A and B are shown apart, each in its own frame.
Chain A
Amino acid sequence: MSGDALAAAKARAAGFGRWHPAEALVWIAAIAAYFVFPGYMALGAQALILVLFALSLDLILGYAGIVSLGHAAYFGIGAYAAGMLSAHLGWHEPISGLLVAGAVAAAYGFLTGVVLLRYHGLTLLMLTLVAAILLYEAANAWSDVTGGFDGLLGITPAPLFGTFEYDLWGRTHYWYVLAVLFICFLGARRLVYSPFGRALVGLRENTRRMHALGAPVYWRQVQIYTIACAMAGIAGGLFAQTNAFVTLDAMSFLRSGTVIIVLILGGVGRLYGAFIGGVVYAVLEDELAKASPEFWEFGIGLVLVCLVLFARDGIAGVAVRLWQRWRR
């Protein structure tokens, strides 16, 4: 009966974006990791930073469909902003440092977005790549400020809220990063399930139609780009604060490429894809890259090729399909 279909559609709309029990599992697992793997907290923190970085890329790649080969520029600029705040300006409070990192990255994201998002296809790909390389070269040239290849030293974040000291095992770092990730994730989730988020999906699916619906396509893209860059900058800020050290590779092409791989691995356009990809990649890299760098590199290449040929929607996509099949 057609009335049923309409009711079903309305029910779907009414349930759109409600928290799913499986989501809680992810966060419980993240909290449990602290108790189950106490020796791996330093790795855990870096993995979560990678997740946040990948999440920021998902907003532009998975939801708005903008392919960028230079996203690390915003991670790097956030890292240097937070780092320099502490090392050069003597401001050590970490949370405000993160806000500064995010703001600087957002500003840079807005300026570059306004210029670059007028272009499409291969041109845009090249422009994002070249713009990121230019930033890298500029940071290298100003080595007295950034520390150049040797890196920025002297980053000394103050204890969180004045009370939580950092230890060599990275435990405080882990909670700090997890909390920041959670807050950013809440924001991203709310955005994705808002009318704006839906319009972004429309933009990705059929840009021509969005123009014909009266949508200000360009400005929407600039908006989401700016938000995504702010998030990347916050991830960079966390990177600087937890490592107490920033080098140029924070904004390298390798980092831009890695975060794309992480997202593809986990699944593009599904918020939790960034989670899965980030954790899997960080753990595998830690285990395998040290054992044999060539096998790691070869393995990643092979995984990529197989993903594109057989599982374009990444681990998350495969998991969802398997679960749907199991339900029947």
Chain B
Amino acid sequence: MTDVVISIVFDGLAYAMLLFVISVGLSVTMGLMGFINLAHGAFAMAGGYAVTSLTGGLGLPYPLALLAAAVIVGVASVPVERLLYARVYAARELDQVMLTIGLVFMAIAGFTFFYGPSPQTLQLPSYLTGQIDLGFRSFPTFRAVVIGIGLVLIAVLWFGFERTGFGARIRAAVDNRTMAQVVGIDVDRLFMITFAVGSGLAALGGGVAVEMLGVSPVFAAQYLVYFLIVVAVGGLGSIKGAFFAALVLGIVDNAGKYLWPDGGAFFIYALTLALLLVRPQGLAGRS
């Protein structure tokens, strides 16, 4: 029995790390600009495809491919933001939703056209396959590594957010954009950098998702709800909030699907509904 619980928690933890890495960029950029970006999942998806192409076609080692994909997608996201997104920052909510949904459609169609509709396959390096013995139990190596890397990333992001000047400027701009501009913070440039980093992280997550969740052209739409839940439940613009929301979402969803294979997804939606009704600003949001 405890073995089952440990498995659920472990898998849930790995899943949570993945969701966090993908969603954290979305949370910060939404908190920063108030911009509803439903195409964020497309950047993750692009990362997944980039990793498969780099490891398969170019024979790049997996870790290097992950980093390369993150950089490529992060850089590529900048013109998208400058040329398209920037035009609707002041527009109504509906327009932002529509623009980004349109981009998702185009991404899904594009990737289907070039790669076909099946999920991508990836050959993991041998040191990431199999099991790793952590003393009291053996766990799948890949997931253990994902958890490890996730924790490191969280520490780095938290440090960057809470302890550096850059992070302080982001937090200030999330708090009160007008005031931040008044004291001389270049919010536009801040946003560009944050957006690029967030998209890069999403791409990194996408590379991991190929192995853990499976990435097909519909990935951007399929998991969009989950990313939005992490952001909304966590509270816009909060790394801490995104982390805890991802944790809850990852473990509860995993448990639900394990215990009720047919209707397990129900739990996470019910939980999200309840949480948002009681605390609409999210776990770490301000009212």
Contact = CB atoms under 8 A, between A and B. Distances in A.
Determine direct contact between A and B, CB below 8 Å.
yes
Given A122-B232, A304-B102, A130 B94 contact: no
A268 interface: yes
Interface string B249-266: 000000000000011011
A137 B269 contact: yes
Interface in B100-147: 101-110, 112-113
Contacts of A312: 91, 95
8 contacts: A123-B281, A126-B228, A127-B273, A130-B229, A130-B276, A298-B105, A304-B105, A309-B99
A67 B273 contact: no
Contacts, number: 117
Q: At the interface, is chain A mostly helix, strand, loop or mixed?
A: helix
B80 to A, nearest CB: 11
A302 B105 CA distance: 8
A192 to B, nearest CB: 19
B102 A305 contact: yes
Interface of A: 61, 67, 69, 115, 119, 121-123, 125-127, 129-131, 133-134, 137-138, 140-141, 253, 257, 260-261, 264, 268, 294-298, 300-305, 307-309, 312
A141 B277 CA distance: 24
Given A126-B228, A134-B269, A297 B280 contact: no
B97 to A, nearest CB: 7
Interface residues of B, number: 41
B276 A307 contact: no
Interface in B188-238: 225, 228-229, 232, 236
A307 B97 CA distance: 12
B113 to A, nearest CB: 5
Interface in B56-106: 84, 87-88, 91, 93-95, 97-99, 101-106
Nearest to B99: A308
A140 to B, nearest CB: 7
Contact of B102 (A134, A268, A302): A302
Contact of B263 (A69, A126, A141, A301): A141
